[in-house]
Amino acid sequence: MSDLVSQLKERFGDGIVDVNAETIDDWIEVTPDVLLDVCEFLAGDSAIKLDMLNCITAVDYLHTDPKKAAKADFDPHMQVVYHLSSIEHKHTLVLKVKVDRWKNGEEGSLPEVPSVAGIWRTADWHEREVYDLSGVLFTGHPNMKRILCPDDWVGYPLRKDYEMPLEYHGIRGR
């Protein structure tokens, strides 16, 4: 882990924002700008060779309750978490990217993260799912549309401030 971190820091400098090696699963946080390069390096380097993307998750950090928000130890933001593993070397890595909940703070414009579907094809469907449920736009994705919800669904259900629609095509929601 420490070898890898120094290697990454040497290559990407400020692109590596944070390294956490004391938690249960160690993770590395990178900026969205260098994400694609970091992933290309991790997947391509023969000594690291993280050739499998296990999972992409978006975690919405927002307290909707103002009382709790005042006590919270985080600012509202969105995290995209990549779980990677290597079939050949049998090791794993967690990458994180932090973005604002809304692009430029304008409600309704989705935050953007570069798509890694060109490196791992798994990302194709996983990114569509994250877009569908958490509302993160993956730039450069070949087919960015909803996958689990219907195409005309409004809102992003896994966001903390999501509200159930009152009705959908005449079906009562609540």
Partner 1 sequence: MSTKVDDPRVIEFDVRTDEMLINMGPQHPSTHGVLRLILRTDGEIVSEVEPHLGYLHRCAEKIGENLTPRQWVPYTDRMDYLAGMNMNLGWALVVEKLLEHDLPEKARHLRVIISEMGRIASHLVGMGAYGLDLGTFSPFLYAFREREKILDLFEKACGARLTYSYLTPGGATGDLPPGWVDECRDFLAQFKPCIPEFHELLTNNQIFIGRTAGIGVMSAATAINYGCTGPVLRGSGVPYDLRFNGEERYTEMYEGYQFDVIVQDPETGKYPDPHLEEFGDDLDYPEIPKEAILGDCWHRFYVRMLEVVQAIRLVEQALDKYESASGDWGQPIKLTQKLPKGEAYLETEAPRGQMGFYLVSTGDSIPWRVRARSSCFCNLSVTSELCRGTLLADVPAIVGSLDVVMGEIDR
* Residue numbers at the binding site for partner 1 (CB under 8 A): 23-25, 51-55, 57, 59-60, 81, 83, 87, 90, 92, 94, 120-122, 124-126, 129, 133, 147-150, 157-158
From the CB of 10, what's the least distance to partner 1, in Å? Answer: 27
Q: How far apart are CA 13 and CA 20, in angstroms?
A: 16
Task: Please answer whether residues 94 and 26 qualify as being in contact, where contact means their C-beta atoms are separated by less than 8 angstroms.
Answer: yes
Q: Residue 113 forms beta bridges with which residues? A: 138
Q: Decide whether 51 or 112 has the Cβ nearer to partner 1.
A: 51
Q: Decide whether 38 or 79 has the Cβ nearer to partner 1.
A: 79
Q: Decide whether 7 or 92 has the Cβ nearer to partner 1.
A: 92
From the CB of 9, what's the least distance to partner 1, in Å? Answer: 23
From the CB of 119, what's the least distance to partner 1, in Å? Answer: 9
Q: Decide whether 13 or 150 has the Cβ nearer to partner 1.
A: 150
Q: Decide whether 13 or 71 has the Cβ nearer to partner 1.
A: 71
Q: How far is CA 112 from CA 6, 102, 131, 135, in A?
A: 27, 9, 10, 9
Task: Please answer whether residues 136 and 111 qualify as being in contact, where contact means their C-beta atoms are separated by less than 8 angstroms.
Answer: yes
From the CB of 124, what's the least distance to partner 1, in Å? Answer: 6
Burial grade of 172 (CB within 10 A; 0-12, 13-18, 19 or more):
exposed
From the CB of 136, what's the least distance to partner 1, in Å? Answer: 14
Q: How far apart are CA 98 and CA 30, in angstroms?
A: 8
